[in-house]
Amino acid sequence: MALLRLALTVQLVLYVVAMVAAAFSGVRFVRLQKLAGSQRANDGWWQSAQARAATSHAVRPLWLAAIAILCGAVAPRLLGALHG
């Protein structure tokens, strides 16, 4: 019973991490949109090195969210396999 509780706790923590990472990604996306809005005079801005770096910076938390979701889905099975 204690192992099941631990597995559910680990899973819940990982899902919360995924939600927080997704929220950070949303905030970064809004900042990227504001930055792009300030660069309207230059139509090729999205192809610049600054834009590529900003996009990469905005998407990075989504990778963390995806990894946390996958680990959260696998955590109960892994802890169950360790127990039994």
Over residues 52-72, the pLDDT tens digits come to: 787 888 888 888 889 989 988
Q: How many domains does the chain have?
A: 1
| pTM score of the predicted model | 0.71
The answer to whether residue 40 sits within a structural domain is no
The answer to whether residue 3 sits within a structural domain is no
The answer to whether residue 60 sits within a structural domain is yes
Please report the pLDDT score of residue 19 as a whole number: 92
Here the tokens at position 82 are: 């360790």
Please report the pLDDT score of residue 20 as a whole number: 92
Share of the chain above pLDDT 90, in %: 11
56 is in which domain, residue-wise? Answer: 11-35+49-83
- For 48, the 3-state DSSP assignment is coil
* pLDDT surpassing 80 at residue 47: no
Nearest to 11 by CA among 78, 84, 62, 82: 78
